[in-house]
Amino acid sequence: MFTPKWCSSQIRHKSAPCALLLAGDFNATNFVREHIFKLKLYVKVVWVGPHIKTVAETLTHKYSNEDVTRSLVVLSWAPSIITTLDDDTYVSVSFPPCKDPNSSSDIGCKYEMQRLIKLVWSKLEIGARPAFEATQKVSFTLQDYTNILRLYYNAASRKSYEDLACEWMLKNTKWKKWVPDTDKNDLYIGAAQLALDAINRNKTILRDYNLKLKVEDGECKADIVMKTFIDYILFNIYNKLIGVLGPACSDTVEPLAGVTKHFKTVVISYSAEGSSFSDRDKYPYFFRTIGENKQYK
């Protein structure tokens, strides 16, 4: 219990008796002592811990049946075990607005709605991608929190959190929107069927992706090769295009490697030997699996 010095029986003014404030967990609400001192409030505080709901309901029932005018002041979060009662049972008290969220002494910031964030293990994105994507979609409204609390405290028998969560999910369909798509993301490669099949069979490499192959015959003609790349861009394949294997001829590489620099698309040729493509500043995204002419020389 906390009693400010001006609430003691020796110096308390008879016309201004101190009110009694009921609070729950001490560690979560002991900041009210500082506010009482700062604002010189005629308020005493009693912390009743996990019994706050029972105490509040008992006193509310007692005062309602007595032929006296009394008020009950309870400090609680919203939503909480107290605010889940009927709306007519209690009236919210407004406090000064928050002026400086970074100030620990700002009174209003302790009572206004605070920002909630979701924290997940950083490795979840790599080790369990579906769970990571589901966590990103999870969200609750104020009404959702209230309904869940009511479900818990109105239960005939004290059920486990797991059972109540299951019961809530059976009664609500909102959680279905959190389930990530089970289909793998499609990624396109411009060649190499054998490599594609090997990766798709492997359960550890790009397991959340399904590689697809777009095979086009460039005919060693620069205009056909360029048209193929333009088609990838125009027909929404480019957004999932991770690279191009080819073309085979050096004459067709130059225009393609030049334009893909602006699209930041990797081009890997298996037979273009032209020495001019070794300029990394001019062709930063062009690579090849064979040596250039100068190296052979």
* Number of Cα atoms under 13 Å in the Cβ half of residue 120: 17
**For the chain, percent of residues with pLDDT exceeding 70:** 84
d(C-alpha 250, C-alpha 131), whole Å? 46
d(C-alpha 139, C-alpha 125), whole Å? 18
Of the candidate ranges 2-6, 85-89, 195-199, 292-296, the one whose mean pLDDT is the lowest: 85-89
Tens-digit pLDDT profile for residues 199-251: 888 888 888 888 888 888 888 888 888 888 888 877 766 677 888 887 878 88
Q: How confident is the model at residue 284 (pLDDT cuts 50, 70, 90)?
A: confident
Q: In what order do the strands lie in the sheet with 19-23?
A: 43-47, 19-23, 73-75
What is the pTM for the complete model shown? 0.44
Q: Does the pLDDT of residue 289 top 70, yes or no?
A: yes
d(C-alpha 276, C-alpha 258), whole Å? 12
- As a whole number, mean pLDDT of residues 49-69 equals 81
Query: First and final CA of the chain: distance in angstroms?
Result: 92
Tens-digit pLDDT profile for residues 7-57: 876 454 554 578 888 988 888 888 888 888 888 888 889 999 888 888 888
Are 250 and 220 a contacting pair, CB within 8 Å? no
* Secondary structure class of 253 (helix, strand, coil): helix
- As a whole number, mean pLDDT of residues 146-174 equals 80
Topology classification of domain 185-296: Rossmann fold (3.40.50)
Of the candidate ranges 119-123, 152-156, 224-228, the one whose mean pLDDT is the lowest: 152-156
d(C-alpha 241, C-alpha 116), whole Å? 37
pLDDT at 180: 77
d(C-alpha 89, C-alpha 64), whole Å? 11
Closest CA to 200 of 214, 215, 182, 187: 187
d(C-alpha 192, C-alpha 209), whole Å? 17
CA separation, residue 251 to residues 125, 223, 247, 267 (Å): 42, 10, 9, 14
Q: Where are the beta strands (DSSP E) in the chain?
A: 19-23, 43-47, 73-75, 185-189, 209-213, 241-245, 267-269, 286-288
d(C-alpha 219, C-alpha 252), whole Å? 9
Which one-letter DSSP state was computed for residue 106? -
pLDDT at 47: 92
pLDDT at 87: 55
Give me the residue spans of the domains in the chain.
Answer: 5-77+87-110, 124-178, 185-296
d(C-alpha 48, C-alpha 54), whole Å? 10
Spatial neighbors of 145 by CB under 8 A, at least 6 apart, are: 79
If you average pLDDT over every residue of the chain, what do you get? 79
Which one-letter DSSP state was computed for residue 19? E
pLDDT at 204: 85
CA separation, residue 173 to residues 82, 133, 169, 179 (Å): 27, 18, 7, 11
Closest CA to 226 of 279, 263, 271, 180: 263
d(C-alpha 2, C-alpha 8), whole Å? 11
Of the candidate ranges 144-148, 158-162, 292-296, the one whose mean pLDDT is the lowest: 292-296
**For the chain, percent of residues with pLDDT exceeding 90:** 1
- As a whole number, mean pLDDT of residues 166-179 equals 85
CA separation, residue 183 to residues 1, 179, 186, 209 (Å): 58, 12, 9, 9
Structure token pair of residue 249: 């001829």
**Number of neighbours of residue 218 by Cβ within 10 angstroms:** 21
